Chains A and B, each alone.
Chain A
Amino acid sequence: MKKRGIGIGCTFYGTGYGNGFPDISTAFVEIHDDGSVLILTGAVDCGQGSTTVLTQIAAEELGIPTDMVTITCADTGCTPDSGTTAATRQTYTTGNAIRLACQKAKKTLLEWAAKELGTNTIEGLVIAEGKIMVKGHPQKSITFKEACAKARFAGNRLIGEASFTTHATQVNMEDGQGAPYWPYAFGTQIAEVEVDTETGKVEVLRIVAAQDVGKAINPQSVEGQIEGGVAQGLGWSLLEEVKLSSGNITNPAFSSYLIPTVLDMPEIETYIIESHEPTGPYGAKGVGEPAMLSAAPAILNAIHDAIGVRINDLPATPEKILEALQEKK
């Protein structure tokens, strides 16, 4: 018999290395004579999209289009260390470092522009539409490009360097108190499954995934991270298990260690939740790992809803489901 059930999983995840471990990113920035910008940072993009997001952060901070920003990432020959691409930390930690570095370079430029345009402080200036303008008097302006060239010719160096350290303290082992991570990412997923009580096979029919990312700097890649997270979470729940024998992996192949194919995947409905994170770049925090966590509890709860058994050992293979159904009888 085929039985259907629905389950919900809610999770929170501490991003960053955590527990007081030094979690630091560094970025260098230089604005050139033609108004183009070079960013150097050690952040590795494995495909999750950090290079794009970091470029967007630099462009936003400097008030220029993204195509004026060149970013060189993760080249030990020239980039400063920005830690590992792990712990869901690059958007937050390296994003903050880039933002701070851009602010420094921008300050030098605007201080020159304030004199040129006759404002008392740089607070009266804004960079937009390829120009540096006096707030409220947009006719008083200089093109960004011209300003960069002239400021440099006047002897200024439009460079910035910054490091950002994620705030985390070690947990007190005696009383468990402390602030081991910051920030936390929250997610909820709802799964609908169909369990075949003859074969024990679970089919996931639908997943609805909502993930709090603070601010989605690049909504399309956030969606991609959530969808990929759901796929890994589904694999973790139903298929994936590293089997060991005397320390050797006995299933080191895609034929014996199964990951979801497109046919194992339901349609995924994603919801991006933006709960402004005050310490993040433009309110953003990471999305990588947290997006995969809620799938397993959601799917296991849906199995319980469908057939009334609790599976407490991942993955929920047909064998385990049949065994649990047997025990229940």
Chain B
Amino acid sequence: MIGTKSFEAIVNGEQVKLNIPQNLRLIDVLRNYLGLTGTKEGCGEGECGACTVLVDGEPYNSCLLFALQVQNKNILTIEGLASYNNLHPLQESFLEHGAVQCGYCTPGMLLVAKALLDKNPNPTREEIKVAISGNLCRCTGYSKIVDAISAVAEKGVKR
């Protein structure tokens, strides 16, 4: 029988303290314990990027992490991207460019894009493509996603 352990982290700016089974994946804590179902599970084996969250600003597949590996870290999920009543510029841009179809890849795409722009506010189209290349999208053919991210980069909106 797998024992429980105390798990502490900052999730979307809030301190979280839980007792969880030691073998629980980060995605399960987010979805099943914290109700943050914006993080999607596409494959559960690190191939699709749908489960991407930011850990201390870096994109990670939350299906490949044990929650206890991110003990005391700062985690951002899609629910934490917008501020109280304003969408994040990337979210606005995805809407404006029609970069969302079924939406399953969208949370991961947005968070990877945010991580990219935080580090490199003026990426080239090629750099944007490399950044999102670990995130599969079945619907859009990627064009409008790349357009949406470059539009934010060009505007140089404060993020």
A295–B56 Cα distance when bound, in Å, is: 42
Given known A253-B43, A255-B45, A262-B133, contact A46–B102 (CB-CB < 8 A): yes
A226–B129 Cα distance when bound, in Å, is: 20
Q: Which residues of chain A are near B43, meaning CB under 8 Å?
A: 253-254
Q: Is the CB of B101 within 8 A of A228?
A: yes
Interface string of B117-156 (1 = CB under 8 A from A): 0000000000001101111111111111110000000000
A230–B143 Cα distance when bound, in Å, is: 11
The contact size tier of chain A is 20 to 34
- Residues facing A in B49-70 (CB within 8 A) are none
Query: Is B78's CB within 8 Å of the partner chain A?
Result: no
Considering the complex, give the chain A residue whose CB is closest to the CB of B43.
Answer: A254
Q: Is the CB of A253 within 8 A of B45?
A: yes
A218–B15 Cα distance when bound, in Å, is: 44
Considering the complex, give the chain A residue whose CB is closest to the CB of B42.
Answer: A254
Q: Which residues of chain A are near B137, meaning CB under 8 Å?
A: 231, 262
Interface string of B66-110 (1 = CB under 8 A from A): 000000000000000000000000000000011011110000000
| Total contacting residues, chain B, CB less than 8 A | 28
Which of B103, B130, B144 contacts A47 (CB under 8 A)?
Answer: B103
Interface string of A33-56 (1 = CB under 8 A from B): 000000000000011110000000
Q: Is the CB of A255 within 8 A of B141?
A: no
A71–B129 Cα distance when bound, in Å, is: 36
Which of B48, B136, B139 contacts A228 (CB under 8 A)?
Answer: B139
Given known A254-B48, A263-B133, contact A47–B142 (CB-CB < 8 A): no
Give the tally of cross-chain contacts (CB within 8 A).
72
Which of B42, B130, B141 contacts A229 (CB under 8 A)?
Answer: B141
- Residues facing A in B16-67 (CB within 8 A) are 42-43, 45, 47-48
Q: Is the CB of B130 within 8 A of A263?
A: yes
Q: Is the CB of A228 within 8 A of B133?
A: no
Q: Is the CB of A227 within 8 A of B144?
A: yes
Q: Which residues of chain B are near A223, meaning CB under 8 Å?
A: 98, 144
Rounded to whole Å, the gap between the CB of A18 and the closest CB of chain B is 24
Query: Is A248's CB within 8 Å of the partner chain B?
Result: no
Query: Is A232's CB within 8 Å of the partner chain B?
Result: yes
Q: Is the CB of A268 within 8 A of B143?
A: yes
Which of B102, B136, B141 contacts A254 (CB under 8 A)?
Answer: B136
* Sampled A-B contacts (24; CB under 8 Å): A47-B100, A47-B102, A47-B139, A220-B97, A221-B98, A223-B144, A224-B98, A227-B140, A228-B139, A231-B138, A231-B140, A231-B141, A231-B142, A253-B47, A254-B43, A254-B48, A254-B136, A255-B47, A261-B134, A262-B146, A263-B133, A265-B142, A267-B143, A268-B141
7 smallest CB-CB distances across A and B, nearest first, come from A47-B102, A227-B141, A231-B141, A254-B47, A47-B101, A262-B142, A220-B98
Residues of B within 8 A of A (CB): 42-43, 45, 47-48, 97-98, 100-103, 129-130, 132-146
Given contacts A47-B101, A254-B43, A262-B133, 4 further A-B contacts (CB under 8 A): A48-B101, A227-B140, A253-B45, A254-B42
